[in-house]
Amino acid sequence: LSIFLTAVCVINSMYYTFYLSFTSVSLIATSLQIIDVGDALVQNVIEFKDFLFLWQPVVLLIVYFRLNKKGYYEKPEKFGNPKRKMIGTLIVATIILSIFASTLTGLEVGRLIKQWNREFLVAKFGVYFYQVNDIVRSLEPRINTLFGYDNAIRQVRTFYENRTSEQKKNKYTNIFEGKNIIMIQAESIQKFTMELDFDGREVTPNLNRLAKEGINFTNFYSQVSVGTSSDTEFTLSTSLLPVSNGTVAIGYWDREYVTIPKILKDKGYFTFSMHGNNGTFWNRIAMHDSFGYDKFFHKSHYDIDEVIGLGLSDKSFFRQSVEKIKDISSKEERYYATIITLTNHTPFDEVDKYGDFPVTMKVEIENEFGELEEIEAPYMEGTTLGNYFKAVRYADEAMGEFIDALDKEGLLENTVIVIYGDHDARLSRRDYVRFYNYDPYTDSVLSSSNPDYIPVDFYSYELNRKVPLVIWTKDKQFGVEIDTVMGMYDMLPTLGNMFGFSSPYALGQDIFSVEENVVVFPNGNWLTNKIYFNSQRNEYLALVDEPISKSYIEAYSLLSEEYMQVSNNFIIYDYLRRKKEIQDVREGAIP
């Protein structure tokens, strides 16, 4: 029992480092995915703190041997009546538990039932209680879909009935109607890399050029949970949030959703996706089919002639994809492509394959003759973050080559390119300390007591997780920057406005029409242009210099909760299919 409970602690401790959340039994199926990213786990996740929990079996053994020595196990009665001791323990435990239960507020009990505010639950109830609760919550909709079913469906229906679905027109409405769409899902690229250069060498020169010419969304966040890449694929396609227990890709891919590929298929588009990894990763073969893609090109459709990290290198992948797109373009009237890159994936350690990109810093120092001399300080060389910049640079180069190749083949004439990061690079906070606090003159990191020291706190880390989003066409120079906060779930309504489609179930907004937007994260935190609200700790960071009222916070907190509930119920209870079944019964299609 001790080994089992210690394992629960160690696994959760490691899991927290990676996801800032806690494990769930609903992830057992999902965890098979981790086998493929095993290296990344060992290198980035296992920390000293994870082993601290080993004190439990060690102490147990010491106690055992000491008691054994005293003859405890031969004559336990000598040490007091065992029965009375057990009853005494039970009574004390019950009293403590009752006192604890009586102090719980309605909000806390509510969180226990919903289970998404995991950090709060573990802090308040402890990891064992959390884990048992998780088992109950994960099994609930599966063992008995009737359990809570009526309420769930009613809640979703009422939410959508009360929503005004009328789309506002703006200057972007229908501007791209009928054009081809190439979506480039750029693995793990964070927005701040676009603003970065090393001695004048930009990390993402290609992306920067496209951003300058196109529409550059500078405050765009992915809303992933533990399903990372696959969560983005889901949220982008449906404008719903990832499910709070488990992943849609593994557990709920077969539910019915209104998705971008399905809508576009109805509008005469050929829809396809491409990825250089195994098709089974994140259950994509099944999931992309269920989302309505006509075809999914994966590892088996490519010649694996160059491998970096998890699979086919981005450069080779793009080269081969151009041929496939050319073929499709000659046969189909219009198409929607989702192209998922791979090379820029943690642990970013195949540095020699990324190409030459020094992440150094040049400074002038005075030599012994009193002359100024330029030196190149190593700065981020040899660090995980430094390697990440090299990988991003490679990914950017690959994208640049891809755009050029499409152009050469004449495939850009009637096509809109959308580039977005799928999620952040999942680097730890401490990886940034050197980046922000490097002293090139001494080749060392400033101490935290130095007045120039820049701390990497929770909020700066969270806000820095934003990812690029650029919409670009060859023929039109937009040169527009949009800094309204935007989430992955705003993609469907925003693209929908530009291409002339919509979904009645979208939770997000058309970013060109919205007055104030809110990005709800799957852990319950939310962000507007005014504040980042940390619902785990019930506190916030103000992003503007103006007073924030209590009612402002309450309103958005309520809305966030509603979004998460609607989304979860929609997914778990297969809302759309049920709705159709009920309609069919009413119309007599089903007796």
CB proximity list for 533: less than 8 A, separation 6 or greater: 525, 526, 527, 539, 540, 553, 556, 557
Residue 360 binds: one of Mn ion, ligand GP9, none (C-beta under 5 to 8 A by kind):
none
Backbone angles phi, psi at 227, to 5 degrees: -85, 5
Rounded Cα gap, residues 380 and 444, in angstroms: 11
- Residue 232 carries which side chain, given as an amino acid letter? T
Q: How far is the CB of 282 from ligand GP9 (least distance, A)?
A: 6
**345 lies in the binding site for ligand GP9 (CB under 6 A):** yes
Residue 281 binds: one of Mn ion, ligand GP9, none (C-beta under 5 to 8 A by kind):
ligand GP9
Which range of residues in 152-160, 338-346, 381-389, 525-533 is near ligand GP9 by CB under 6 A? 338-346
Please count the residues of this chain forming the interface with ligand GP9, following the rule CB under 6 A: 11
Q: How far is the CB of 139 from Mn ion (least distance, A)?
A: 29
In the numeric block, the tokens 């496939």 are attached to 324
In contact, 274 and 339? CB cutoff 8 Å: yes
Q: How far is the CB of 35 from ligand GP9 (least distance, A)?
A: 12
**CA-based nearest residue to 495, from 269, 265, 242, 237:** 237
**CA-based nearest residue to 348, from 552, 193, 483, 120:** 193
Residue 444, SS3 per DSSP: strand
Rounded Cα gap, residues 363 and 227, in angstroms: 43
In contact, 202 and 208? CB cutoff 8 Å: yes
**198 lies in the binding site for ligand GP9 (CB under 6 A):** no
Show contacts with ligand GP9 in window 487-526 (CB under 6 A): none
Q: Which of 111/423 has CB closer to ligand GP9?
A: 423
Residue 556 binds: one of Mn ion, ligand GP9, none (C-beta under 5 to 8 A by kind):
none
Beta strands in 435-487 (DSSP E): 438-439, 444-445, 469-473, 480-482, 486-487
Q: Which of 159/282 has CB closer to ligand GP9?
A: 282
Backbone angles phi, psi at 239, to 5 degrees: 65, 30
Q: How far is the CB of 347 from ligand GP9 (least distance, A)?
A: 11
Q: Which of 124/324 has CB closer to ligand GP9?
A: 324
Q: Which of 345/390 has CB closer to ligand GP9?
A: 345
Which range of residues in 50-58, 65-73, 337-345, 512-520 is near ligand GP9 by CB under 6 A? 337-345
Show contacts with ligand GP9 in window 6-65 (CB under 6 A): 37
Token pair of 222, please?
């992915």
CB proximity list for 580: less than 8 A, separation 6 or greater: 256
**229 lies in the binding site for ligand GP9 (CB under 6 A):** yes
Residue 37 binds: one of ligand GP9, Mn ion, none (C-beta under 5 to 8 A by kind):
ligand GP9
**574 lies in the binding site for Mn ion (CB under 5 A):** no
CB atoms within 10 A of CB 126: 10
DSSP designation for 558: H
Show contacts with ligand GP9 in window 284-323 (CB under 6 A): 310
Among 229, 238, 283, 384, binds Mn ion (CB under 5 A): 229
In contact, 270 and 334? CB cutoff 8 Å: yes
Q: Which of 187/574 has CB closer to ligand GP9?
A: 187
In contact, 308 and 398? CB cutoff 8 Å: no
Which range of residues in 127-135, 275-283, 316-324, 467-475 is near ligand GP9 by CB under 6 A? 275-283
Among 115, 235, 277, 565, binds ligand GP9 (CB under 6 A): 277
CB proximity list for 35: less than 8 A, separation 6 or greater: none
Cis bond before residue 347 (omega within 30° of 0): yes
Among 13, 24, 222, 228, binds ligand GP9 (CB under 6 A): 228
Among 220, 257, 270, 281, binds ligand GP9 (CB under 6 A): 281
Q: Which of 40/470 has CB closer to ligand GP9?
A: 40
**245 lies in the binding site for ligand GP9 (CB under 6 A):** no
Q: Which of 279/496 has CB closer to ligand GP9?
A: 279
Q: Within 13 Å of residue 81, how many CA atoms lie on the same side as its CB?
A: 4
Residue 572 binds: one of ligand GP9, Mn ion, none (C-beta under 5 to 8 A by kind):
none
Q: Which of 229/509 has CB closer to ligand GP9?
A: 229
Q: Which of 277/360 has CB closer to Mn ion?
A: 277
Q: How far is the CB of 289 from ligand GP9 (least distance, A)?
A: 16
Q: How far is the CB of 23 from Mn ion (least distance, A)?
A: 20
CB atoms within 10 A of CB 427: 22
In contact, 470 and 419? CB cutoff 8 Å: yes
Which range of residues in 239-247, 340-348, 449-457, 551-559 is near ligand GP9 by CB under 6 A? 340-348
Burial (Cβ within 10 Å: 0-12, 13-18, ≥19) of residue 464: middle
Which range of residues in 43-51, 274-282, 366-374, 525-533 is near ligand GP9 by CB under 6 A? 274-282
> What mask, x for binding Mn ion by CB under 5 A, covers residues 154 to 193?
---------------------------------x------
Q: What is the DSSP string of 340-396?
A: E--SS-TT---GGGS------EEEEEE-TTS-EEEEEE-TTTTSHHHHHHHHHHHHH
Rounded Cα gap, residues 109 and 124, in angstroms: 11
Token pair of 401, please?
């080559």
Residue 257 binds: one of ligand GP9, Mn ion, none (C-beta under 5 to 8 A by kind):
none
Among 134, 233, 397, 422, binds Mn ion (CB under 5 A): 422
Q: How far is the CB of 257 from ligand GP9 (least distance, A)?
A: 19
Rounded Cα gap, residues 56 and 328, in angstroms: 60
Torsion (CA) 276, 277, 281, 286 in degrees, nearest 10: 40
**CA-based nearest residue to 159, from 507, 526, 551:** 507
Residue 277 binds: one of Mn ion, ligand GP9, none (C-beta under 5 to 8 A by kind):
ligand GP9
Element (H, E) at 285: helix 284-291
Residue 262 binds: one of Mn ion, ligand GP9, none (C-beta under 5 to 8 A by kind):
none
Residues of this chain that bind Mn ion (CB under 5 A): 187, 228-229, 422
Residues of this chain that bind ligand GP9 (CB under 6 A): 37, 187, 228-229, 275, 277, 281, 310, 340, 342, 345
